[in-house]
Amino acid sequence: MAGVLLACRLILSAAFIVAAVAKLADREGTRTSFREFGVPAAAVPAAVIAVPLVELAVAATLLPSATATGAAWAAVALLAVFTVAIARVVASGQEAECHCFGSVSSRPVGPGTLARNGVLIAMAAAVGIGGAGASPTAWVADLSTTEAVLASVSLALALGLAFNTAFLFQLFRQNGRIWAELDALGSSGGQAGPPAVSIGEPAPPLAALDLAGRPVDLGDLLDRLPIPATRLMLMFASADCPACDPLLPEIGMRQRDEDAELQLALIALGSHDDVAAKCSEHGIESALVIEDVEAPRPYGINGFPGAVIVDLDGRVASGPAVGRVAVEQLLRTDSQAPALVHVGGAN
């Protein structure tokens, strides 16, 4: 049992060191990730430095037996905070990159992220309850010369294998995305990504409430468009979605431009009060409220933010855009060329 507890300490320490160094090496990515997880903008610059330093402190104090137990409980607390933040994002249907290990393993959060954190919490709790276990220095001192050499070689091979595995995983994943995009381009005649909603077909039904609590559907939205309008973008967001916030000022600006051919309708998940507060903060004149995270899915939108364009006849006029970058691309593309466009994929 003492050896198992020592192994837990070493694994946890290594995990925190990798996480801290990777975050410091990619501060811009870490900054973006913190914003997406709801860290207040004013606190982000300090958090980008403070969180990796705390991780390094936990990693360092896990190694000496005298401080290992306290460090283990600190690790439990830190991992619990991360896990609660991740669970909140997953439950809300938002899209956010974990960036837990920097660019080494940056991917959208999901059940796998929660499971990994659960394993690490269990290991830290085991050390906190069971004690430090074997002393790493005593264990090394008890090794013979041959055993020490073999242990050093094994450690070097393990580190090399871990590095190569991570590198190959990233390489294969990138190649997989490239091949998938090429395949999609080939099957769609050069357009980007096959849309989940067929362009030219009637848009799925939409049921929402305006800020006064009155029911509104897609037909109502189209009937209210100013005369110059030829298209309506349905912008799906969440009142509790940091990745959506950078898009909100532009929504307000475009809503005030009644001469624009492309009009925008904000459809937000959340309470009426929260959505109204967001509208007031960003100068948005009108918004609809939905209470079901599944509401955008018939449009091919499985996360926030997301957008799709419909024409005046209520027919789909673009592929679904999912994620902030894709929505911004859809806005730019439609502004530059009124022709139907395909935009797809999460970022």
Give per-residue pLDDT as tens, 158-216.
556 555 555 554 555 455 545 444 454 444 444 444 446 688 889 998 889 998 888 99
pLDDT at residue 103 above 60?
A: no
Confidence band for 18, pLDDT divided at 50, 70 and 90: confident
Q: Does a structural domain hold residue 192?
A: no
Q: Does a structural domain hold residue 279?
A: yes
Contact yes or no for 215/207 (Cβ under 8 A): yes
Residues 37 and 115 in one domain: yes
The phi, psi pair for 210, rounded to 5°, reads -80, 180
Residues 130 and 221 in one domain: no
Please give the pLDDT value at position 39.
Answer: 80
Please give the pLDDT value at position 234.
Answer: 94
How many domains, in total, are found in the chain? Answer: 2
User: Where is the domain boundary, 142, 170, 198?
Assistant: 142
- β-bridge partners, 268: 237, 289
Q: Does a structural domain hold residue 321?
A: yes
Pairing between β-strand 215-217 and β-strand 207-210 as defined by DSSP bridges = antiparallel
Contact yes or no for 259/179 (Cβ under 8 A): no
Residues 222 and 315 in one domain: yes
219-249 per-position pLDDT tens digit: 889 988 888 888 999 999 988 888 888 888 8
Residues 118 and 234 in one domain: no
Q: Does a structural domain hold residue 186?
A: no
Residues 6 and 134 in one domain: yes
Residues 12 and 135 in one domain: yes
Q: Does a structural domain hold residue 163?
A: no
Please give the pLDDT value at position 51.
Answer: 92
Please give the pLDDT value at position 229.
Answer: 85
Residues 216 and 330 in one domain: yes
User: Where is the domain boundary, 117, 142, 167?
Assistant: 142
Contact yes or no for 223/339 (Cβ under 8 A): no
> Which tops the pLDDT comparison, 345 or 293?
293
**Which helix or strand (DSSP H or E) is residue 159 part of?**
helix 145-187
Q: Does a structural domain hold residue 171?
A: no
CA distances from 206 to 7, 70, 140, 200 (A): 54, 53, 66, 17
Q: Which of 69, 49, 53 is nearest to 61 (CA)?
A: 69
Residues 231 and 309 in one domain: yes
3-state secondary structure at position 250: helix
Q: Does a structural domain hold residue 230?
A: yes
Would the pTM of this model clear 0.75, i.e. be above it? no
Please give the pLDDT value at position 268.
Answer: 92
CATH number of the domain residue 258 falls in: 3.40.30.10
Q: Does a structural domain hold residue 135?
A: yes
Residues 116 and 237 in one domain: no
Q: Which domain holds residue 106?
A: 2-142
Confidence band for 154, pLDDT divided at 50, 70 and 90: low
User: Where is the domain boundary, 87, 107, 142?
Assistant: 142
Query: Distance between CA 58 and CA 68 in Å, rounded?
Result: 9
Structure tokens at 86: 């991740």
259-285 per-position pLDDT tens digit: 888 888 999 998 888 898 888 888 888
For 146-173, give one letter per residue: b (16+ CB within 10 A) or e: eeeeeeeeeeeeeeeeeeeeeeeeeeee
Residues 19 and 94 in one domain: yes
